[in-house]
Amino acid sequence: MGSISCPHFAIFPFLSPGHTIPLLYLSRLLRRRSVVVTLFTTAGNSPRIRASLQDIDVSIVELPFPQNIEGVPPGVENTDKLSFESSFLPFTRATEQMQESFEKALETLQPPASYVVSDSFLWWTLKSAQKIGVPRLGFFGTGNFSTTMYQILGRFRPHAGADSVDEPFSMTDFPEIQLTRNDFQPPFGDINPSGPSVEFMMDSMIALGMSNGLIVNSFYELESRYTDYWNKNLGPKA
């Protein structure tokens, strides 16, 4: 009788505590179901992750973090070490330089990876998953409500008629929800948002739209209305 091979999840959290912790928990849930898990990070983040997962069998692969990034202090490999908000985008963009080392490590996994689960900020990992022919699942550390509201704002522009940043407007398809432009992180509440942050989010959302699914840090009963709306009108399936 032939043995049934277990799926192998290659998990790559963004290098930030609020993004990493939920994926460490996901790793635990998968191991309870005898799924093989390999977690990707950097040498600077590895000690905390190893300490958190020391009681379970998860492989941890350390990838080199790019050096000499303009706007990011040397040696910083996690957003909790960034002193200035202006460093966040250069730090996030720098992760794109990790694509080659990620792909080399991904290709050598045994057993081969069945899925790539990666933070939506690591949008370029979609290309890596496509290269080895496995599905990519994006990850959002926030719940379905906020992600849905941001998508509605960008797609349907319900705020376009608001004269000031404090003027309430109703959200498309959710008329009972009234928000203001100030409720959204700048510059996304602008009528016509632009700039490097918007370009980065566009990269992330385009890659997510081409992915095979979305894992959300929530549970269905809490946000069923927004999950159903996302799955019917936006996607990929959460």
Q: Residue 46 maps to which CATH number? A: 3.40.50.2000
Q: Domain for residue 3, yes or no?
A: no
User: So what's the pLDDT on residue 238?
Assistant: 97
Measured on CA atoms in the order 55, 56, 62, 66, is the torsion positive or negative?
A: negative
With tokens 């300490």, the residue in question is 51
User: So what's the pLDDT on residue 104?
Assistant: 98
Q: How many domains does the chain have?
A: 1
Domain that holds residue 77: 8-234
Considering the entire predicted model, what is its pTM? 0.95
Q: Domain for residue 1, yes or no?
A: no
Amino acid at 87: S
Which stretches of the chain drop beneath a pLDDT of 50? Answer: 1-3
User: For residue range 201-210, what is the model confidence (pLDDT) as tens digits?
Assistant: 999 999 999 9
Q: Domain for residue 84, yes or no?
A: yes
Amino acid at 6: C
With tokens 């959002």, the residue in question is 140
Contact 26, 138 (CB under 8 A): no
Contacts of 175 by beta carbon, 8 Å cutoff, 6+ apart: none
Q: 38 - beta bridge partners?
A: 10, 59
User: So what's the pLDDT on residue 64?
Assistant: 98
User: For residue range 149-204, what is the model confidence (pLDDT) as tens digits?
Assistant: 999 999 999 999 999 999 999 999 999 999 999 999 999 999 999 999 999 999 99
